[in-house]
Structure 1
Amino acid sequence: MWIAAALAATALLLARKLGLRGPNGEATSRTAAVVPPVVLVAALAVALAQTVVVGVLSLFAHDLQVDAVGATWLLTAFMLASAVATPIAGRLGDQHGHHRLILVGLLLLLVGSVVAAVSTDHGWYAGALSGRVLQGLAGGVFPCTFGLARQLVPSRRLPGVVAGLSAMFGVGGAAGMVAAGPLVDASNLAAVFWLVAGLAVVALIGTLLLPAPRPTASRTARPDLLGGVLLAATLVALLLAVSQGRTWGWSSLPVLGLACAAIVLGALFVLVEQRAAAPLVDLRLLVGRQLLAINAVTVVIGVGMFAAVTLLPLFAQTPAHLGYGFGYSPSRSGLLIAPIGLFMVIAAPLTPRLARRIGARAVFQVGAMLAAVGLAGLAFLHHQPMTVALSGAVLGLAYGFAFGSLGSLVVDAAAVEDTGTATGINTILRTVGGAIGSAIAVAIVAGSAKPGTTAPTESGYTTAFAASALVALTAVVLAAAVRSSSSSGRVSADLSA
């Protein structure tokens, strides 16, 4: 505690010396230059933490002495914790300050990373799993970065920052899968967690340097504890059913029970939120006229896009003697999908420029159409590493445009005081869509195995990629219902008022 207090005091003095805070802690003219890199690193750390285990799950199974299902829980546990924390943190950030919630989230990310790293070094599966849960609770950082940026970044620069934060959800995810293999080859399995810990420290120090603006929403109302419990239970039941459906069996009693529980708990949550004086999630931000279409296409594009990043490492590591795949190591698999992350980074700064010309909705549709092209390429042109890499490059552009424009659309449609809540809801819908897409894609591939064997056939991958391409095309059509606006629309007006 004393160390944290000393660090905070040192950061305050440094911030004033650098001219980032005024005498009373307020923002200065220099603050705007520092905010974008700080919030982008914070978002990168959280996004990278989610996927950093994907490409090396088989190694975790070996080192922690668990089966494939147990290793998969290192990913599932993060997603469950993030699903619970993200919308709650967005609402609390609006009420109590986004700066404060970002600090709490980054501390959880740091502690969770250290716990997971030390536990992995000692072969302690329960400890590694607990660390992943703590890391997942840091998912609430993501929506709060939007809220803090909206308060501290000038209106003329905000569209670019919003697009960058939105794209970071995909960039960080791709970076996690790309970096894991080479990092483990160069060091050890725990290195993936030390990487996240290092990013968390950098983001934490940067956030401490920034001023803490006043909360944008009223904090007089009592917290909606019942709504929070019901929301958490609904998301846990839903994601457990989706993530474990293939393992337990889609028609098994546990999966059917979880699905029914998710429906009942979700209905109760809606009833409670309708009657709450200060609801945790304002349902207008979920199904309101302006945000309903945006949230719908978020789920759909998440389903289509996350199938690729889930299946590509599996495909690349398939032994070539099966008639397909390349027999790559986790390290080479990461390099094969590196174009996805690279072209996401290229697309991120282009998104706000395109949005000013053709509108954020059109940019999203371009991204979804490119996703369909890239996924179709993976479905029918996956026999050579070069064609797979080229399809990955197209997907990188698609992710950057689609996710970057979604952030702009949400921020533009939400009131200033609801920024954290609205982006939190949209973020969790990406997670839910991604979980659904990954589960469906893996189920298609696994179901292609011939009777009496466990090895999937090539047709399973072809079908899964082709189905994902059709889902991406569906997102193009659904996006027509989204209100057309540029990324510099009402956001700028709000901030300049």
Structure 2
Amino acid sequence: MRVLLAACAAFLAKRLRRSGAGPVPVLPVLLAAALAVALAQTVVVPALPLFQRRFHVSQPDAAWLLTAFMLASAVVTPVAGRLGDLLGHRRVMAACLACLVAGSVLAAYADHASWYAGTLAGRALQGCAGGVFPSAFGLARQETPPERLSGVISALSAMFGVGGALGIAVAGPLVDAAGTVWLFVTLAGLAGVALVGALGMGSVTGVRPETASPARPRTGLDLTGALLLAAALVAVLLGITQGRVWGWASAPTLGLVGGGLLLGGCFLAVELRSAAPLVDPRLLRGRARAGTHAATLVISVAMFSAATLIPQFAQTPGSSGYGFGASPTVTGLLLVPMALCMVLAAPLSAWVSARRDSRTAFRIGAALAAATLAALGAAHGSLAVFAVTGALLGLAYGFAFASLGGLVIGAVRADQTGAATGINTILRTVGGAVGSQLAAVVVTTSAAPGTGGLPAESGYTTAFLASAVTAVGALAVSYVLPGPGGERGPVRRRAADVSS
């Protein structure tokens, strides 16, 4: 399937070049690819209650349609980052986009057939497109002039959050108008356009010929590390998901979580000994690197918890005493302010980063997220409250995520760009997966016997306040990061690489 899709896209790209339509600019292709992947990640969120009823599964099981994407992305991203550094980022980006097209087609077919397992498999295949992000960062660093690099990196970083917010906002109206199948059909079309652009980009633009990095030999992939990482993530998240059903102190729950942590330790041990590690432990050392990655993980837990909670709360029937019984369309419109404010916050974050430093921009986002989530936990009695707090969360998202790319790239050499941004993307997706599952578990645990599994309002209050505390944790971690004197921004780092 992927070979066929790639062949079709290559044919279309060839026809585009022959038609005299002109060159395909690099930056629009990178932004389009990043947008398609970010949309795919969250587009199912407003429809999770519909999927739950359609497939006759529990709320945590329905949340796996979000988690499966994130898990696959977390495993594939470091592989894609390393392959991009070794073999060329454009090729890797095209392969990841082909996975997004194929996964969208599979999910659309399975959804039409009311086949939960097939839809879940399609979502996992879509998640393989997570490798687009390190590839995009690598191409941006390779092709962007030094004076423009900071803005391009901020735009790509913000696209992770902007696309996620847009996915939530547009999904509701699309589901009401055409059904859940069209979520995946639309993604297939967007990914196909980005794939054509990625394939045409190498021939009709100034993208340099792609060869292996001279700083690294061509070595085999660390498949053992990839398998250990996948097993560790699945075990921990499965234990969290099923803990309420099996019992938090039961042998299966403790075995899965403990086994996942043990596998994670084995993964680190393997990476330390590997000549060609999937995740280079050196990229996790030092205040700048370790602090940035830790802040990324924590803020992602907080942000994706909120993104999961808001649609669920809004669509809870009003008979429960606290929900609004909102349709997917109303839910999507409710989240439009979040998407718009995220778009506005991205250039503001770049402006703050350029005049102060990237950690200041991150702190603004983390502090705003903490305050907004705390307010939402205390007062959530009307749609207007959700619209206002959603807008503030959009600003928080934009500031926080737009600053991360600059922090990561400013701490590594040019030949480490793909691997370093890959690690950071892993932590975003892992944090998102953990946050969405924890939010679902906290809410469902509040359900009282005899209520048909309907959560209590206190469950949402607890979950929102827990997300606020998590955001405070991200703010605290940011103070580990070195100050402006010890931070080498992307532009200065690029200049240092060139001079060396």
Shared fold, TM over 0.5: yes
Provide closer, same or farther for how the CA distance between residues 415 and 474 of structure 1 changes in structure 2, counting only shifts above 3 A: same
| 2:290 maps to 1:292 | yes
1:408, distance to aligned residue in structure 2 (A): 1.0
| 2:161 maps to 1:170 | yes
1:240, distance to aligned residue in structure 2 (A): 2.6
* Identical residues among aligned pairs (%): 54
Aligned to 1:80: 71
Matches within 5 A, 1:337-348: 337-348=335-346
Partner amino acid, structure 2, of 1:461 = Y
Partner amino acid, structure 2, of 1:172 = G
Whole-Å separation in 2 of the counterparts to 1:420 and 1:397:
27
Aligned to 2:140: 149
Specify every segment of 5 or more residues in structure 1 that has no aligned partner in the other structure, as ranges.
Answer: 21-30
SS at 1:324 equivalent:
coil
The one of 102, 105, 108 equivalent to 1:111 is 102
Aligned to 2:205: none
Provide closer, same or farther for how the CA distance between residues 487 and 115 of structure 1 changes in structure 2, counting only shifts above 3 A: same
Paired residues of 1:294 and 1:410 also in contact (CA < 8 A): yes
Partner amino acid, structure 2, of 1:432 = V
Aligned to 1:89: 80
SS at 1:205 equivalent:
helix
Q: Which string of whole-angstrom CA distances, capped at 9 and with x for unpartnered residues, describes residues 98-137 of structure 1?
A: 1111010000110111111122222233322221121111
1:9, distance to aligned residue in structure 2 (A): 5.9
Whole-Å separation in 2 of the counterparts to 1:487 and 1:326:
46
| 2:35 maps to 1:36 | no
Aligned to 1:25: none
Matches within 5 A, 1:54-453: 54-211=45-202, 212-216=209-213, 217-453=215-451
Partner amino acid, structure 1, of 2:233 = L
TM-score by length of 1: 0.91
Whole-Å separation in 1 of the counterparts to 2:337 and 2:244:
30
| 2:454 maps to 1:455 | yes
1:407, distance to aligned residue in structure 2 (A): 1.2
Q: Which string of whole-angstrom CA distances, capped at 9 and with x for unpartnered residues, describes residues 283-325 of structure 1?
A: 0112344311111111111122211111101111122233222
Provide closer, same or farther for how the CA distance between residues 445 and 38 of structure 1 changes in structure 2, counting only shifts above 3 A: same
Partner amino acid, structure 1, of 2:154 = A
Whole-Å separation in 2 of the counterparts to 1:410 and 1:154:
18
Q: Which string of whole-angstrom CA distances, capped at 9 and with x for unpartnered residues, describes residues 136-180 of structure 1?
A: 111111221111111112122221121121122222222222222
Partner amino acid, structure 2, of 1:312 = I
Paired residues of 2:170 and 2:332 also in contact (CA < 8 A): yes
Partner amino acid, structure 2, of 1:200 = A
Provide closer, same or farther for how the CA distance between residues 3 and 303 of structure 1 changes in structure 2, counting only shifts above 3 A: closer
SS at 1:204 equivalent:
helix
Whole-Å separation in 2 of the counterparts to 1:471 and 1:13:
50
1:345, distance to aligned residue in structure 2 (A): 0.9
Partner amino acid, structure 2, of 1:206 = G
Provide closer, same or farther for how the CA distance between residues 495 and 275 of structure 1 changes in structure 2, counting only shifts above 3 A: closer
Paired residues of 1:93 and 1:101 also in contact (CA < 8 A): yes
Deviates more, 1:169-178 or 1:304-313: 169-178
SS at 2:284 equivalent:
helix
Paired residues of 1:355 and 1:405 also in contact (CA < 8 A): yes
Provide closer, same or farther for how the CA distance between residues 219 and 106 of structure 1 changes in structure 2, counting only shifts above 3 A: farther
Whole-Å separation in 2 of the counterparts to 1:201 and 1:293:
37
Whole-Å separation in 2 of the counterparts to 1:287 and 1:242:
29
Whole-Å separation in 2 of the counterparts to 1:99 and 1:119:
30
Whole-Å separation in 2 of the counterparts to 1:496 and 1:254:
53
1:439, distance to aligned residue in structure 2 (A): 2.8
Partner amino acid, structure 2, of 1:465 = F
1:53, distance to aligned residue in structure 2 (A): 1.4
SS at 1:313 equivalent:
helix
Provide closer, same or farther for how the CA distance between residues 2 and 108 of structure 1 changes in structure 2, counting only shifts above 3 A: closer
Partner amino acid, structure 2, of 1:126 = A
Whole-Å separation in 1 of the counterparts to 2:212 and 2:341:
36
Specify every segment of 5 or more residues in structure 2 that has no aligned partner in the other structure, as ranges.
Answer: 203-208
1:395, distance to aligned residue in structure 2 (A): 0.5
The one of 480, 492, 495 equivalent to 1:493 is 495
Whole-Å separation in 2 of the counterparts to 1:141 and 1:244:
31
Paired residues of 1:356 and 1:486 also in contact (CA < 8 A): no
Paired residues of 1:155 and 1:495 also in contact (CA < 8 A): no
Whole-Å separation in 1 of the counterparts to 2:4 and 2:103:
20
Paired residues of 2:59 and 2:444 also in contact (CA < 8 A): no
